Amino acid sequence: MSEPVTGVRALLRPDLQGRTPYGAPQLDVPVALNTNESSYPVPDAVVQTIVERVGEVAASLNRYPDREFTRLRTELAAYLTRTTGPVLSADQLWAGNGSNEVLSHLVQAFGGPGRTALGFTPSYSMHPIITRSLGTEWVDGLRGSADGLFDLDVDRAVEQARTTDPNLVFLTSPNNPTGTALSLDVVAAVYDAAPHAVIVVDEAYAEFARPGTPSATTLLAGRDRLVVTRTMSKAFAFAGVRLGYLAADAQLTELLRLVRLPYHLSAVTQAVALAALEHADLMLGMVEAIKTERDRLVDGALSLGLRPVPSDANFVLVGGFVDAPRTWQALLEEGVLVRDVGIPHHLRITAGTPQETDAVLAALASVGGSDR
Ligand code: PMP
């Protein structure tokens, strides 16, 4: 029998009783490859610009920041236009403290009690957490894993979208934790199959995709229920700043003003994000190097008899462990922190520096744990 709920716990909303919070361990270890951050520090030239720009706004921190973050939206629109193709305008852009906040704005605006969001598991663990915390029902759709690669095939996705008839659909491309990007055919087909839904394509890792993987921003024209979310936390190597954003039809972004808290992006955040966007090429400078390390992780895992899943991201999901939690612990004892995402026999490893790849492959070789 479970313990009776007492004290302040008894006052918690009934639908949150028994839920667990997001909890990636934050441990001080020599090799931290568990949250898909960049292992590379912010380049000196960018640090200098950040210090200057923060200096410029410091004296006016007595005032609230630009609630509309207009310059930031303009620069983010220019960045997406330059890197993904379609011409986007500032009124199509929205931002928040991390893409988690942007996702939360979407669920606040389009979900809520009596409404449903559909996602395809395994995917980003915060999608159901944000959804449920806002009183929205979560429907755990399934990715096809018959081939063991966790791809989401179009028929399977369409069928689940039709039967659920949701108010929101989450598609993650490249998918976390499995790593592969989604074909745009799936996005377009799910859009048509869920006519009452806002379709969110979470592209947190898009800059790491293998060549020939277009962004879902190329589908935005003529689809006013489609949203593409992005973040500066991954390829932009700026996780500490907390800046996520989205592109969508201007009418949709307008609606998000109904749910955001006033002045949600601080003047410091806006100034720092703008400083980094001035140096976008430098900030993205390590992307190719990280992709090389990702591919080395795949090859290294294969040669250890493990089963890495192909990846378009800055991490690799590796299968083939007899007992993944045990290997996770053994790696930690070697000073290497990776992620146990709860998929039996699998661990997720972020691609970092060449030295970190060497360290994680050496640790894997020494702890063993492969089922072959
Ligand atoms: N989407 C996906 C798929 C992620 O993996 C993450 C971070 N792990 C996020 C969104 C959120 O990132 P942030 O809030 O740092 O932008």
pLDDT band of residue 4 (cuts 50, 70, 90) is: confident
In the structure, what pLDDT confidence band is assigned to residue 173 with cuts at 50, 70 and 90? very high
- Distances in Å between the alpha carbon of 132 and those of 113, 126, 145, 169, 256? 9, 10, 25, 14, 19
Residue 256 above 60 pLDDT? Answer: yes
pLDDT averaged over every residue in the chain: 95
**What is the number of the ligand 1 atom nearest to the C-alpha of 99?**
16
Mutate to test the pocket of ligand 1, among 106, 131, 233, 242 (most ligand atoms within 8 A of CB): 233
CA of 244 to the centre of ligand 1 (A): 8
Measured CA distances, 32 to 14, 40, 142, 307, 338 (Å): 36, 12, 30, 21, 7
Name, in order, each residue with C-beta under 8 angstroms of 113's C-beta and a sequence gap of 6 or more: 135, 136
**Rounded distance from Cα 341 to ligand 1 centre (Å):** 14
Structure tokens at 317: 């999901």
What does the block give as tokens for 131? 């959804």
The average pLDDT across 107-123 equals 97
Q: Is the pLDDT of residue 210 over 90?
A: no
Q: What is the dihedral of CA 358, 363, 364, 369, to 10 degrees?
A: 180
Q: Does the beta carbon of 104 sit less than 6 angstroms from any atom of ligand 1?
A: no
- pLDDT value at position 148? 52
Q: Tell whether ligand 1 has an atom less than 6 A from the beta carbon of residue 191.
A: no
Contacts of 63 (CB under 8 A, 6+ apart): 267
What are 9-39's pLDDT values in tens digits? 999 999 999 988 887 888 999 999 999 999 9
E strands, 148-189, where?
168-172
Per-residue pLDDT, 147: 55
Q: Tokens 């003003």 — which residue?
A: 257
Is the beta carbon of 176 within 6 A of some atom in ligand 1? Answer: yes
Answer for the pair 371, 345: CB distance below 8 angstroms, yes or no.
yes
Helix (H) or strand (E) holding 227: strand 226-231
> From the CA of 181, how far away is ligand 1's center (Å)?
15
Distance between CA atoms of 74 and 57, rounded to whole angstroms?
Answer: 19
Take atom 6 of ligand 1 and give the residue whose Cα is closest. Answer: 204
Segment 291-300, tens digit of pLDDT: 999 999 999 9
Measured in Å, residue 303 CA sits from the centre of ligand 1 at 30
- 34 Cβ closer than 6 Å to some ligand 1 atom: no
How does 3-28 read in b/e, with b if 16+ C-beta sit within 10 Å? eeeeeeeeeeeeeeeeeeeeeeeeee
Residue type, 368: G
Q: Does domain 24-40+286-367 have CATH number 3.40.50.920?
A: no
Alpha carbon 169 to chain centroid, angstroms: 15
pLDDT tens per residue, range 33-58: 999 999 999 999 999 999 999 999 99
Our answer on whether the CB atom of 313 is closer than 6 Å to any ligand 1 atom is no
**Distance of CA 99 from the midpoint of ligand 1 (Å):** 6
Q: Band of the pLDDT at 1, cuts 50, 70, 90?
A: low
Average pLDDT of the segment spanning 306-331:
96
Indicate if ligand 1 lies below 6 Å from the C-beta of 98.
yes
Residue ranges per domain, the chain?
24-40+286-367, 45-283
Instruction: Grade residue 369 by pLDDT with cuts at 50, 70 and 90.
Output: confident
If 0-12 CB within 10 Å is exposed, 13-18 middle and 19+ buried, where does residue 120 land? buried
pLDDT-based confidence at residue 278 (cuts at 50, 70, 90): very high
Residue 146's pLDDT band, with cuts at 50, 70 and 90, is low
Report how far residue 194's alpha carbon sits from residue 200's, in angstroms, rounded to the nearest whole number: 12
Question: In the CATH scheme, what architecture does the domain 45-283 have?
Answer: 3-Layer(aba) Sandwich (3.40)
- pLDDT band at residue 150 using 50, 70 and 90 as cut-offs: confident
User: Nearest-CA neighbor of 155 among 166, 144, 170, 167?
Assistant: 144
pLDDT band at 177 (very low <50, low <70, confident <90, very high): very high
* Pocket of ligand 1 contains residue 38 by CB under 6 Å: no
Q: Within 13 A of 329's CA, how many CA atoms are on the CB side? A: 3
pLDDT recorded at residue 22: 86
Confidence of residue 200 (pLDDT cuts 50, 70, 90): very high
DSSP run (H or E) holding 316: strand 315-319
Is the CB of 172 inside a 6 Å radius of any atom of ligand 1? Answer: yes
Q: What is the pLDDT of residue 253?
A: 98
Tokens of residue 4, six digits: 């009776």
Mean pLDDT for the stretch of residues 327-347: 96
What pLDDT band is residue 149 in, cutting at 50, 70 and 90?
low
Do the domains spanning 24-40+286-367 and 45-283 agree at the CATH topology level? Answer: no
Q: What is the sign of the dihedral through the CA atoms of 187, 188, 194 and 195? A: positive
